[in-house]
Amino acid sequence: MSETVTHESPDRVTQPPGDVIDLGKLEKSLRRPRTAFNFVMSGLTSLMTIMALVPLFSVVLMLLVRGGKRLSLSVFSELPPTAFEQGGGFGNAVVGTLVMVGLAALISVPFGVLGAVFLAEVGPKTRLAKVVRMCAKVLSGFPSILAGVFAYGAVVLITGGFSAVAGGIALSILMLPTIMLTAEEAISMVPSKMREAAVGMGATQAQTVWMVLLPTAFPGLLTGVMLAVARAAGETAPLLFTALFSNYWLTSGGRIDFMQPMASLAVLIYNFSAMPFDNQVELAWAAALVLVLLVLMVNLIGQSLSRKTME
Amino acid sequence: MSAVSESNVGTAASIARAPTFIEKYGNIVFRWATYLFAWLTVFLVLYIVYTITKQALPAISKHGWGFITGTTWDPNTRVYGVLPEIWGTMYSSLLALFIGSLFGLAVAIFLSEHYLAAFVFSLLKAVGLQFHPVWGKLPDQLERLFKNLIELLAAIPSVVYGLWGIFFIIPLIRPFCLAWHAKLGWIPIFGTTLSGPGMLPAAIVLSIMIMPTISAISLNALLAVPPKLREAAYGLGATRWESILAILLPTASKGIFGAIILAFGRALGETMALAMLVGNSNVISWSLFSPANTLAALLANNFAEAGPREIGVLMFAALILLGITVLVNMAGAFVLHRASVGQEGVR
């Protein structure tokens, strides 16, 4: 009897029945639970990733369809319409967004870059640098509405009214950490040979920074500024109760006045989206399209710059 | 420097010279300026906390703990309580975190496993173009494009997401929500009807906004796992997903956890999308379809029209929001810091 078994499969005799290697088990087959699980999970991951991109395309499509319908040159030159009025535009809001982001950049760029020079060059390993880095990180996780609350308490209450300056200050608080942390990284990535060569030539620290480090780190600096500008241009919450909104151009008595309430694209979208009038809702979509184009353009410039520095 | 100039005496004037007055003192002024701005950053953070606290103090002494446990907000009778707002902030953030983490992790795994590149490569291989000088680069290029598209999701302003939510998400999910309420209304989370703005649309939009944060940081954590761990798992015969679940995710877990906490901080402080979608009514409800309110939305809606007395109360609410978000963010930064220290140890 044992002879016939040996004849059929010689393994069976030498090995106890429990340890039989079934080659079929090693085969990659979807009938095996392990492989099937792997296949299902891979499919699920791919499906979820594609679903994650659906909102982006949906937002862009809706902006193009609903916003593009209303977009024309006249919306850039006209003032927002009142309740039952037809037509109109958001020229003052475009100007307002640019002015306030410009004001914010004027405050936060020198502040951020000089702070970054301290972090990367003057005292990178001091205790102060550690504290400053922590503060910058706290600021970067700061809810944007609290920047508005702060600017309200520190500027609006003191100057006695809503103003473009208060809006600019609120935005600058949100831009500061991005600019400072990216600038620090860009400056510390400059090869130390260049720094040493400058010092060896007898340059003072200020000359090294101005003539060697900042020009070399310039693309990186600009990336940080661009990302910060893109973020600030889209922010609504800090402007709601600092710059408020205005239906008029930024002039009083023929002169430009920054101490007045000022319109911005983001606040216009927020205000008009809640209105029951079709004209205003259409304008909100057109304004959203302009805002997204502005933000994406600045973002893409920043991204292409950062790619250049990496190469 | 003096030795050089002495040896050149008589031949030609040396270009070496001591720094001029302006250079010398300019340098000192410059150094002081950088110190000044470094200190100013610290001062700014303290000044923000001081400003909000100072404005909130009268309200704190007047309302005290009752402010946090109260459930009504009525400027006319001057009864203020933010429990519904705290509840709404936490509930919406946790819901968004749940959805956002699932999708964010899926994206991070999809990109770190190079599914897309492998798929495009196999397509090219089928046509025989996989090593073509132009087409051969396609897998990597597509993957980079994909990563940038995910990052673009974070670049869209929150007010635009709010607008999109009002005119796209709410009409889209409303029929489903009404059907679920009709059939499963006895379950608390489907307890009310969706009459327009509500918790679910707000949480969906919020999850889209925090998803890029989770996927970007988790992707870095997954890519930082040493390749030998994965190779060892494959060598033992593990399938791709067995190695992901047993090796990759546990190894990268600290980084992923940090990403989720940071995203939680972002969700807590997010304002506009919620102010536009959550419904702004002081309700504490388990229902996904009920309107609610959040701390940030409360501030956004009431601040501009608030009288001097209400400002103090709103500043108190802002202080609570500040406390919660700073705590959560510092916890996230701490976890991420620990994760990066741990990974250096592995290498």
pLDDT in tens, B234-263: 999 888 999 999 999 999 998 899 899 989
Under DSSP, is residue B292 helix (H, G, I), strand (E, B) or coil?
strand
Q: Per the CB < 8 Å rule, is A149 touching B299?
A: yes
pLDDT score of B207 more than 90: yes
Burial per residue of B52-84, b for 16 or more beta-carbon CB atoms within 10 angstroms, e otherwise:
bbebbeebbeebeeebeebeebeeeeeebbbbb
Q: DSSP code of A81?
A: P
Q: What is the pLDDT of residues B307-325, one digit of tens each?
A: 778 888 999 999 999 999 9
Helices (H) and strands (E) in chain B, counts: 16, 2
| A25, A56, A135, A145: best to mutate for the B interface, most B CBs within 10 A | A145
Q: A3 to chain B, minimum CA–CA distance in Å?
A: 36
* Under 8 Å between Cβ of A239 and A266: yes
Q: A116 to chain B, minimum CA–CA distance in Å?
A: 8
| B41, B99, B147: best to mutate for the A interface, most A CBs within 10 A | B41
| A28, A34, A45: best to mutate for the B interface, most B CBs within 10 A | A45
* Under 8 Å between Cβ of B264 and B168: no
Q: What is the mean pLDDT of chain A?
A: 86
Q: A254 to chain B, minimum CA–CA distance in Å?
A: 27
B16, B48, B272 member nearest A236 (Cβ): B272
Q: What is the pLDDT of residue B193?
A: 81
* Under 8 Å between Cβ of B129 and B136: yes
Q: A134 to chain B, minimum CA–CA distance in Å?
A: 9
Q: Counting Cβ atoms within 10 Å, is residue B43 exposed (0-12), middle (13-18) or buried (19+)?
A: middle
Two tokens, residue B277: 């979608």
Chain A's closest residue to B163, CA to CA, is A273
Model confidence at A16, pLDDT cuts 50, 70, 90, reads low
Q: Per the CB < 8 Å rule, is A46 touching B115?
A: yes
Q: Per the CB < 8 Å rule, is B303 touching A148?
A: yes
Q: Scanning the structure block, which residue is given the tokens 């009288």?
A: B307
Q: What is the pLDDT of residue B191?
A: 81
Q: What is the pLDDT of residue A247?
A: 83
Secondary element (H or E) of residue A296: helix A278-310
What's the first-to-final CA gap in chain A, in angstroms? Answer: 76
Q: Per the CB < 8 Å rule, is B325 touching A142?
A: yes
E strand map for B58-118: 73-74, 79-80
* Under 8 Å between Cβ of B57 and A145: no
Length of chain B: 347
* Residue-by-residue DSSP string for B182-250: HHHTTSGGG-S---SS-HHHHHHHHHHHHHHHHHHHHHHHHHTS-HHHHHHHHHTT--HHHHIIIIIHH
d(CA B88, CA B82): 10
Residues in chain A within 8 Å Cβ distance of B50: none
Share of chain A above pLDDT 70, in %: 89
Q: What is the mean pLDDT of residues A112-134?
A: 93
d(CA B261, CA B213): 10
B16, B160, B325 member nearest A292 (Cβ): B160
Burial per residue of B6-20, b for 16 or more beta-carbon CB atoms within 10 angstroms, e otherwise:
eeeeeeeeeeeeeee
Q: What is the pLDDT of residue B111?
A: 93
Model confidence at B199, pLDDT cuts 50, 70, 90, reads very high
Model confidence at A6, pLDDT cuts 50, 70, 90, reads very low
Q: Per the CB < 8 Å rule, is A137 touching B268?
A: no
Residues in chain B within 8 Å Cβ distance of A49: 103, 106-107, 110-111, 115
Q: Per the CB < 8 Å rule, is B52 touching A240?
A: no
Model confidence at A12, pLDDT cuts 50, 70, 90, reads very low
* A269 touches B: beta carbon within 8 Å: yes
| B173, B264, B272: best to mutate for the A interface, most A CBs within 10 A | B272
Q: What is the pLDDT of residues A179-230, one digit of tens each?
A: 999 999 999 999 999 999 999 988 999 999 999 999 999 988 999 999 999 9
Residues in chain B within 8 Å Cβ distance of A53: 146, 149-150, 153
Backbone angles phi, psi at B194, to 5 degrees: -95, 105
pLDDT score of A291 more than 50: yes
At a CB cut-off of 8 Å and minimum separation 6, what does B168 contact? A58, A62
Q: Per the CB < 8 Å rule, is B159 touching A38?
A: no
* Residue-by-residue DSSP string for B30-50: HHHHHHHHHHHHHHHHHHHHH
Q: Scanning the structure block, which residue is given the tokens 């010092």?
A: A199
Q: What is the pLDDT of residues B20-35, one digit of tens each?
A: 888 889 999 999 999 9
Q: What is the mean pLDDT of chain B?
A: 87
Residues in chain A within 8 Å Cβ distance of B311: 152
Q: What is the pLDDT of residue A286?
A: 94
More confident residue, A105 or B127: A105
Helices (H), A143-209: 144-151, 157-159, 164-188, 192-200, 205-207
* A297 touches B: beta carbon within 8 Å: no
How many Å separate Cα B5 from the centre of its chain?
Answer: 60
Chain A's closest residue to B107, CA to CA, is A49
Q: What is the pLDDT of residues A31-60, one digit of tens each?
A: 788 888 999 999 999 999 999 999 999 999
Backbone angles phi, psi at A252, to 5 degrees: -135, 120
Model confidence at B11, pLDDT cuts 50, 70, 90, reads low
Secondary element (H or E) of residue A252: strand A251-252
A/B interface, count of CB pairs below 8 Å: 256
Q: Per the CB < 8 Å rule, is B271 touching A136?
A: no
Q: What is the pLDDT of residue B345?
A: 47
